[in-house]
Amino acid sequence: MTTSRKIDPAKLPVHIAIVMDGNGRWAQQRSLPRLAGHNAGMKALKKIVKAASEIGIRYLTVYAFSTENWKRSEEEVNGIFKILVYYIEKELNELNSNNVRVKILGDYSKLPAEAVDKLEISLKTTALNSGLRFNIALNYGGRAEILKAVTALADKAREDGSVPETISEEVFASQLYTGDIPDPDLVIRTGGEMRLSNFLLWQSAYSELWFTNTYWPDFTKKDFEAAIMDYQGRKRRYGGVK
């Protein structure tokens, strides 16, 4: 994917979210086990995190493991977490030296103990970094996140007697995992599917969507730049008229 245009640094999306889809099909095309696809996908992720930081994106959120992914085989699920642990161990120093701050979206406490330990080390190590905020959605589901927010607001109402009329969109959004960051301007999905798959459902209400048939392991910096340039050519009206 090539283009003669260049990214306009004055019109960068502040927050980009990515559904990293196609690892399994990438492996299948090559007669490889599915975990080989996930491993290749992790290598692609490293390149895109670096590209986002270099371009000047402030927030990057990637869909790494959904609440529905537990339905996959035990071998694949365990393998994904082992690859995740390896990635964190291998890349943490570089992420930290590049001023990247790692955050987790989702209930990662349900992951294997080794993965939880490595994630908490990465959170602590990068907590004071002020560059790219790299959000990893793990054991994450948009509907579960919304229910979590509703439950938190209901508990608050029981405790302090607050009434529904006081719940604005801003108050509700503050209870989401992304409560302290802006909604994604651009959502990218690889792998040819054209759906959100329970990813950032509330936050993506007015996000620009960009789909590609390219499987995630083959997704490159040029593809990432092409998505950004396509975004920069769109007019965002938020339901109004310009």
What's this model's pTM, rounded to 2 decimal places?
A: 0.94
What are the tokens at 25?
A: 């099909």
What's residue 3's pLDDT?
45
- What CATH architecture applies to the domain 12-232? 3-Layer(aba) Sandwich (3.40)
Q: Tens digits of per-residue pLDDT, 137-176?
A: 999 999 999 999 999 999 988 888 877 778 899 999 999 9
Cβ of 103: how many Cβ atoms within 10 Å? Answer: 19
Res 240 pLDDT > 90? no
Q: Which residues of 40-55 are buried (b: 16+ CB within 10 A; e: fewer)?
A: bbbebbeebbbbbbeb
Orientation angle between helical segments 221-232 and 34-55, nearest 10 degrees: 50
Q: Tens digits of per-residue pLDDT, 127-140?
A: 999 999 999 999 99
Measured CA to CA, the distance from residue 81 to residue 130 in angstroms comes to 27
Residues sharing a CB contact under 8 Å with residue 233, sequence separation 6 or more, in sequence order: none
Catalytic residue among 8, 21, 39, 78: 21
Catalytic residue among 8, 23, 39, 69: 69
69 is catalytic: yes
What's residue 242's pLDDT?
63
* Cross-strand pairs, 209: 187
With pLDDT > 70 as the criterion, what percentage of the chain qualifies?
98
21 is catalytic: yes
Measured CA to CA, the distance from residue 118 to residue 25 in angstroms comes to 28
CA end-to-end distance (rounded Å), the chain = 31
Q: Tens digits of per-residue pLDDT, 11-41?
A: 999 999 999 999 999 999 999 999 999 999 9
